[in-house]
Amino acid sequence: MKRHLPKLTRYYNVVFALLAIISIALVILDYLNKISLAKAPYAEIDFGILIIFAVDYFTRFFRASNKWTFFTHNLLDLLAIIPFSAMFAFFRFGRAFRLVRLTKLLRLTHLVGIISIFQKKADKILHKGGLIYYLWLSAVLILVSAAVYSLTENVGYADALWWAVVTATTVGYGDISPHTVLGRIAAVVLMVNGIGIISALTSAITTYLADDTTTTSPIGIADELRKLKQLENDHILSHDEFIQQKQRLLHH
């Protein structure tokens, strides 16, 4: 059994997933004090992504037939569009140090909202070719390698985690580099894994965008209907589109 997924929807999901990844990276780097979201160019990038997410959220909200249901089902999406960075800059300017700390903690709730958006938009991409398992493995390797680096190179775990992420993504800034044998072994493992991540991610996105249909067994009809209903609730599909997809699913 096959269900057609509109190509525009697939591109929409990929773009929003990529924006969510960028936003997640900015928040984490800011929290580790590697960048400042209160300063250019990071403030402009963060604010631009926030505007895009906000336009998407309010467009779906005003299109919703039952706005209360939409609101209760998209609370995490709402967290993603609260301008915590602007609040942080304002409080910092006002020298309200306790509020600065509070705002920086609140930014973590912003991160939860962004992760929710990423999960919704990237769900199908992550399951192409088992990419989700590769990413979990990569996350574990990054955390473990950072711990090894921290212990063997005698640096803080935050700096070690920064080094692990930079190495895994094959960026290689060179601001921190290993000098011990174990540290260099961890670096090699991360670099090889990073090359694999880039290849797997590229392959998954290409397959997702090129795939006009997805195969579904009769046993999975109920699950597919639930997914369609969720797309309607998220206002990615209109009610008429939901009915059309439902009929196609039931009659093929």
CA–CA gap between residue 18 and residue 118 (Å, rounded):
8
pLDDT at position 106 is 65
Which amino acid, 63? R
CA–CA gap between residue 103 and residue 107 (Å, rounded):
6
User: Domain residue spans in the chain?
Assistant: 1-123
pLDDT at position 94 is 46
Query: Which two three-digit tokens encode residue 66?
Result: 């039952």
Neighbours of 106 (CB within 10 A): 15
pLDDT at position 11 is 81
Give the predicted TM-score (pTM) of the model.
Answer: 0.60
Tokens 């309607």, residue? 232
pLDDT at position 209 is 78
Per-residue model confidence as pLDDT tens digits over 16-44: 888 888 888 888 777 777 787 778 888 88
pLDDT at position 26 is 84
Q: Are 179 and 186 in contact (CB under 8 A)?
A: no
pLDDT at position 66 is 82
Give the chain's residues under pLDDT 70.
1-7, 84-107, 129, 172-174, 211-221, 223, 235-237, 248-252
Domain topology for 1-123:
Four Helix Bundle (Hemerythrin (Met), subunit A) (1.20.120)
Q: Are 30 and 107 in contact (CB under 8 A)?
A: yes
pLDDT at position 4 is 47
pLDDT at position 86 is 54
Which amino acid, 30? D
CA–CA gap between residue 83 and residue 110 (Å, rounded):
9
Give the ranges where 3-156 is alpha helix by DSSP (H). Answer: 7-31, 42-63, 67-73, 75-79, 84-93, 97-126, 131-153
Which amino acid, 12? Y
